[in-house]
Structure 1
Amino acid sequence: MKRLISSVIIIFLLAFMIGCTGKQAGAVGSEPDSAASESASSTDGPTSADQKPVTLNLYQSQNITDSEYKKLIEEPLKKKFPNITIIRTNATTATLDEVIATGNIPDFFYDGLNYHKYQKLGLLQDLEDLIKKHNFDLNRLKSGIIDSIKNQTNEGIIFTLPFSINTTILYYNKDIFDKFGVPYPPDEQITWEKAVEIGRKLTRTDNGINYVGIDLENGPLRIYESLGLKVLDSETGKATVNTSGWKRVLDVVKSSFEVPGYVQGDKYIYDKNSFLKTRNLAMRVAPLANLIGDLEDARAAGQPINYDIVPPPAFEENFGKGSELAMHTWYISSQSKHKDEAFQVISYILSDEVQRLLARNGRVPCIENKELEKEFGADVPSLQGVNTANVFKAEPRIFHKAHPYEGDVTGFIQETYEEIALKNVDVNTALRNLEEKINKKVDQLKVAGK
């Protein structure tokens, strides 16, 4: 009671000061009872509409459809913070460099774990002080999230906070399986080798349509992550690809390329459009968010896909584990004039209230609450009848510590796939070539001082 009386007195004193000076005592983020201080569910009504209007510029690098953005971010924030306007720029509209060149630097960013990207741009904000200032409870986040974030820096800095977890799963088109009389993949993890064998039964031509059983062009990333492998040594920057582990990965890839009918001329990549549009791809290993929004859009357009999902493949000794902990996350710009407001927005998105909304709309929540997992996909028509329990069967690994040059060299892996698929290069030679290309590029970057 004494605390309540003291708070009321303070509020009246602030109101008196504002009236005398004509100045706003605090914007959204500086209110001690703001959404950022909520450690559990955010159930209070919208913040007062008489607060000073604030415009936050958001740059979106990672995938989120317009309908998802409106439902999961825009609408909840409008209700909670009617004084805050968010202007969103999508990477498909302008690159981040182009936006920065205009001088209109975003206040915050929607991306993945890209520490070095924002550090190089001078836009990285350490969130520790904001976390303490707004009493944000990190213990509410799922295991592995903060460790993955801190793991990116030598100092263990918390430079980003999550939006949702982008779990890897295996999508499959039930109609293609039915067409060729092949049993569906089981609801438990299978090996990568078994996945390729199932794909072999579905790779065939029928009525002029070339069907492909499983695409591993995107899969190898998930394969080497499932073994905890890296491309570069996080300290030395030397290539770490010419190893028995990497050979095991590329042996699986090569076996998929060797399936008769898989490589068609110079085509060996079957992207998500093969699953969504041409619909000649039976199975696709991909992050959850890579397809869920598009599948719902297809349903809404009157072109639903008869699909289901199962846990991602793994090597047998790693059953129960998935790929590394992939997340869509929020960064606050070090140059923003509205850091408190941006943090308050992020903390509200991490409330039980909004995370439940995410879960019900097909995004894996990043707070520790098993009840939300039970509600996963409840509001997504295209997820009805889908075995959504399979989303949570493979535990993600801690995200590895990335080297600053990692993003500059991973493109060489694609060249390695091409060598194996189209030039019939053996795996050992392909790995030696990959190692040489990576080390040469790293040396060039070091000389250039980048």
Structure 2
Amino acid sequence: MRMSKPSIITSVFLSFLLVTAACSQGTGTKPVENNEQGKAGDPEPVTLKFYVNGINLSGTEFRLMVEEPTKKKYPHITVERIVPPQGTGLPELIASGEIPDIIYASVGTYYQLRDLNLDYLLDDLIAKYDFDVNRIKPHILASITDYSDNGTSLHALPFNDNDTILYYNKDIFDKFGVPYPPDEQLTWEEALELGRQLTRNDNGVQYIGLEVASGPAHLQSSLALGTLDPDTGQAVVNTPEWKEVFEFQQKVFEVPGTVQGETYLYNKDAFITDRILAMRPSYIANMVGTLEELRQAGDPINWDIAPVPNFPDALGTSKEVNIHSLYISSQSKHKDEAFQVIANILSDEVQTILSRNGRLPSIANDEIDRQFGADVPDLQGKKIDNLFKARGVQLHKPHEYESKVAKFVTEAYRSLALDGVDVNTALRTLEENINAEVARLKATSNK
């Protein structure tokens, strides 16, 4: 079975990243200097613009994990969250002249930032402030360095770890008299059998037992599968591992009641809003904050968590880690201050705040990990230990066109669900479509 392996950070890179215990004090950095500090000794006030690019960070989380810790450590720095109009993405934001200093985005956003000339290599700032990258969980660090040309440099630092767990709606299980998922990790086949018992139409309401997280990328991530060879860019989807993924997904679609007209995937709303979905594997950061906000609004869900299922040969792991990352814009006029803010977020103190408020820390510290959710009322009484029974693995090494061919995987899933296409045909067509698109992209880039 093809699984990702943590890459080795070279000694050349590590030679300038070590930090002495006397200077670090649990932060991973030496005492910082401020380039704008005047002769009077008081730093000039600086406002940093912080942009959230399409991934979850609630207003409460921004205040607790970014705004307040920054003001406490650096009173002269104000972090201001940019909230662009609905439907405005990073390209439109930049075109409007609104340049962020810090960009909060998924690790795969690197290629978009590069294409927008916004990416900025952090190595010099890491060296300048003696930031200790060895404090970061190894599989997270390796996942980020894999995006660099030399396999060792860092274009971003991780905000948090983001493992996957199985959320389940206890009320749906109770309604149909079905036992809750066990505290031991199930295989996908076992989870599907449980889900069959819950996929029912009751008084005109169609309940869905199991959704494999509303899209193909989640299931392939169970085996850390890429769509493209990272070196050649050729499709690598017509393989036994991909066939295993497609054959299982076809079984999900074949459960009576799962495909409803044009609907065959069920997203977060099916669990949170419609409350027709019994089990949803999803990232921690995708759901916990929203579930707590529902509780605060007086509309809680009766839910709990189990280890996320996986294929038999991958039991003990969940899926590829989803890294919420912090980038510094190349166009920022305050790169030093932006790095100070990011380094502070990765300090033991602030990572403890993250953990206690429902985000797994990105630093390797079991004691901080185990404080997960302590300050989130809706997590009290939940089976927190189940978070640690199947841990995330390193991302597969990416190719720059991977996000641009993902649409063909979605099309292949649709053909399984709605068109009656068999698995072998779906995979063969997927391979052909991807290779044709890569050829087109390469020809366009060479013009």
TM-score (norm 1): 0.88
Identify which of 307, 310, 314 aligns with 1:314: 310
The residue aligned with 2:4 is none
Is 1:164 equivalent to 2:160 in the alignment? yes
Q: What is the rounded CA distance, in whole Å, between the counterparts of 1:406 and 1:201 in structure 2? A: 36
Letter in 2 for 1:349: I
Per the alignment, residue 52 of structure 2 pairs with: 60
Q: Which moved more, 1:229-238 or 1:110-119?
A: 110-119
In the alignment, structure 1 segments of 5+ residues that lack a partner are 1-36
Give the match for residue 90 of structure 2. 96
CA distance in 2 between partners of 1:139 and 1:404 (Å)? 27
Q: Which residue of 2 aligns with 1:78?
A: 71
The residue that corresponds to 2:121 in the other structure is: 126
Q: Which residue among 26, 32, 42 is the counterpart of 1:40?
A: 26
Instruction: Tell me the distance in 1 between the aligned counterparts of 2:73 and 2:300.
Output: 34
The aligned amino acid for 1:125 is: Y
Match of residue 384 from structure 2: 388
| 1:189-215, Cα deviation, whole Å (9 max, x unpaired) | 111111111111100011221100011
1:39 to partner: Cα distance: 4.8
Alignment match, 2:343: 347
**Bigger shift: 188-197 or 217-226?**
217-226
1:143 corresponding residue in structure 2: 138
2:250 to 251, 254, 271: 254
CA distance in 1, matches of 2:371, 2:214: 29
Task: List alignment gaps of at least 5 residues for structure 2.
Answer: 1-22
My pick for the range that moved more, 223-232 or 169-178, is 223-232
CA distance in 2, matches of 1:412, 1:346: 36
- Equivalent residue runs for 1:278-427 within 5 Å: 278-427=274-423
Deviation of the 1:229 alpha carbon: 1.6
Deviations 1:388-430 (A, max 9, x none): 1111222221112211111111011111111111111111111
Matched residue SS, 1:110:
strand
Residues of 2 paired with 1:372 and 1:205: CA distance?
44
Q: CA contact under 8 A between 1:218 and 1:286: conserved in structure 2?
A: no
Match status 1:51 vs 2:47: no
CA distance in 1, matches of 2:298, 2:427: 45
Alpha-carbon RMSD = 1.9
Contact 2:184 2:307 in 1 (8 A): yes
Task: Give the 3-state SS of the residue equivalent to 1:410 in structure 2.
Answer: helix
- 1:264 equivalent in structure 2: 260
Deviation at 1:437, TM superposition (A): 1.3
- Read off the aligned partner of 2:24 and give its amino acid letter: E
CA offset digits 1:87-131 (Å, max 9, x no partner): 222466421111111233211210111222222222211111111
Out of 76, 101, 109, the residue aligned to residue 107 of structure 1 is 101
Letter in 1 for 2:50: L
Q: Distance in 1 between matches of 2:162 and 2:390?
A: 12
Count how many residue pairs are aligned between Structure 1 and Structure 2: 412
Q: Which residue identity is paired with 1:193?
A: E
AA of the residue aligned to 2:284: L
SS at match of 2:318: strand
Q: Distance in 1 between matches of 2:50 and 2:184?
A: 39
- CA apart distance, 1:234: 0.8
Q: Which has the larger radius of gyration?
A: 1
> Which residue of structure 2 lines up, in the alignment, with residue 11 of structure 1?
none
Q: Deviations over 1:137-159 (max 9, x none)?
A: 11211121221111122312111
Q: Letter of the aligned partner of 1:437 in structure 2?
A: N
SS at 1:299's partner residue?
helix
User: Aligned with 2:185: secondary structure?
Assistant: coil
Matched-pair contact (CA < 8 Å) for 2:50–2:79: yes
- Equivalent residue for 1:193, pick from 178, 189, 192: 189
User: Which whole-Å CA distance do the structure 1 matches of 2:208 and 2:402 have between them?
Assistant: 31
Displacement of 1:226 after TM fit?
2.0
Which runs of structure 2 are paired with 1:216-235 in the superposition (5 Å)?
Answer: 216=212, 218=214, 220-235=216-231
In the TM superposition, residue 319 of structure 1 has moved relative to its aligned partner by 1.1
Contact 2:213–2:281 at 8 Å: present in 1 too?
no
SS class of match (1:283): strand
Q: Is the 8 A contact 1:211 1:282 kept in 2?
A: yes
Aligned to 1:153: 148
**For residues 292 and 142 of structure 2, what CA distance do their matches in structure 1 show?**
33
Using the alignment, how far apart are the partners of 2:165 and 2:215 within structure 1? 10
Please give the alpha-carbon distance, in whole angstroms, between the structure 1 residues aligned to 2:402 and 2:391: 24
Asked if structure 2 preserves the Cα contact closer than 8 Å seen for 1:152 and 1:400, the reply is no
Aligned counterpart, 1:4: none
Q: Could you say what secondary structure the match of 2:72 adopts?
A: helix
Q: Distance in 2 between matches of 1:334 and 1:182?
A: 54
Residue 240 of structure 1, aligned match among 236, 256, 267: 236
